[in-house]
Amino acid sequence: MKLLALPLLFVFASCSTQSCWKGGEPMRQTEMRSQWGAEIDINQSANNVKIYRGLAHPVADKGAYERQVKRGGWVEFQGFKFFAQPYDAKPGTAEKVLDIYKLSASHEAQAIKTTCAGFHPDYALVWSKNGKQRVLQICYGCHEWKYFGPGGKVHTDIEDKTYFQKLIPLLPKARERPRP
């Protein structure tokens, strides 16, 4: 029994000195089916899409987050707070972001992350069809997508090498955008 514990000790020790998130894992069948369902739903429903910027991170930037919440002027989508005023993006930005999301290659299987402060979306794309709200949340810290639609939730990593880099010019990172 002691011999089995020794290799595990080395694994955990190596994870504590470096990130255990290696990323780059292809989606599993269940994730692929869910993402394809989201793609179909987006194709049929994505009209009048509004983009919202997330408040400061409630853990990594707790003071700023608490001040923003106290000040008001925010809305909540799927458990996260965003500035109530939609982000003033260039025309066509929402469509470009959704086009990236709809590509299966822009998704990877969820990986374990030890270096981020937890999922907290920088942006949300929001629209409705037939009274049912759709929300696509994008977290730059975790490099993740979360899509909420009539079929449920799809939560995957954003493929880093190509697609994550395509999002940044469309929706700038927090330090690159003005804070109200």
Domains present along the chain, CATH in parentheses: 28-176 (3.30.1490)
pLDDT score recorded for residue 129: 93
pLDDT, one tens digit per residue, over 32-51 is: 788 888 889 998 999 999 99
Stated length of the chain: 180
> How many C-alpha atoms does 24 have within 13 Å on its Cβ side?
4
Distance CA 144, CA 138 (A): 6
- Please report the pLDDT score of residue 111 as a whole number: 76
Using CA atoms, how far apart are residues 149 and 175, in angstroms rounded to an integer? 30
104 vs 65, higher pLDDT: 65
Structure token digits, residue 5: 């514990």
Burial of 51 (0-12, 13-18, 19+ CB in 10 A): buried
For residue range 69-125, what is the model confidence (pLDDT) as tens digits? 999 999 999 999 999 999 999 999 999 999 999 988 888 887 776 666 678 899 999
Q: What confidence tens digit (pLDDT) does each residue in 87-96 have? A: 999 999 999 9
Higher pLDDT: 25 or 170? It is 170
